[in-house]
Structure 1
Amino acid sequence: MDNRIFFNPGDSIANIHDYDEAVRKGQIYKKEKHIDDLVIAKGPDDEEYAIFYAKDALPADHKASKPYDVRRKL
């Protein structure tokens, strides 16, 4: 997986300021929903971590896409 990926910010499952908290919430969500394609990504504002379904990635030229740096795949 590349380090940079594009998402619509409105598609995030959660936005959290603390990386460790984002990982914990992502792991809980993954376990509850029985899914395998979550990513923790640092937002374009460089202030928050977002949890996304990896399948929701958009092409860079999509009008709603914003660049995120993937920090962890769950």
Structure 2
Amino acid sequence: METRIFFNPGDSIANIHDYNEAVRKGQIFKKERQADDLVIAKGPDDEEYAIFYAKDAKPDASTKNAKQYQVQRKL
């Protein structure tokens, strides 16, 4: 079952084309900065993965600049 969530693309920590690289960078970022929960999400164009703070999720598409992402993993 896939989970879709809305984010403002400008809130992303990083955008990476390789899923494994996105997970690795997210884990490093979280450990180094003792960050809150992170989400690895596949972008609306299905070509790259973005790393977001889970708390930055938007309630729906009507929020300014929000785009729909498919959650791949929570860190």
Instruction: Give the alignment's TM-score, normalised by structure 2.
Output: 0.93
Unaligned runs of 5+ in 1: none
Q: 1:27 deviation in Å? A: 0.3
1:27 maps to a residue whose letter is Q
Residue 65 of structure 1 corresponds to 66
Q: 1:36 deviation in Å? A: 3.5
Root-mean-square deviation (Å): 1.1
Moved over 2 A (4+): none
Q: 1:73 deviation in Å? A: 0.2
Identity %: 78
**Alignment map for 1:1-74 (pairs within 5 Å):** 3-60=3-60, 61-74=62-75
Q: 1:40 deviation in Å? A: 0.1
Larger mean CA deviation between 20-29 and 35-44 belongs to: 35-44
Contact 1:59 1:65 in 2 (8 A): no
Q: 1: CA distance between counterparts of 2:38 and 2:28?
A: 11
SS state at 1:35 partner: coil
Instruction: Give the alignment's TM-score, normalised by structure 1.
Output: 0.94
1:67 maps to a residue whose letter is Q
Q: 1: CA distance between counterparts of 2:12 and 2:36?
A: 16
Q: 1: CA distance between counterparts of 2:22 and 2:74?
A: 12
Unaligned runs of 5+ in 2: none
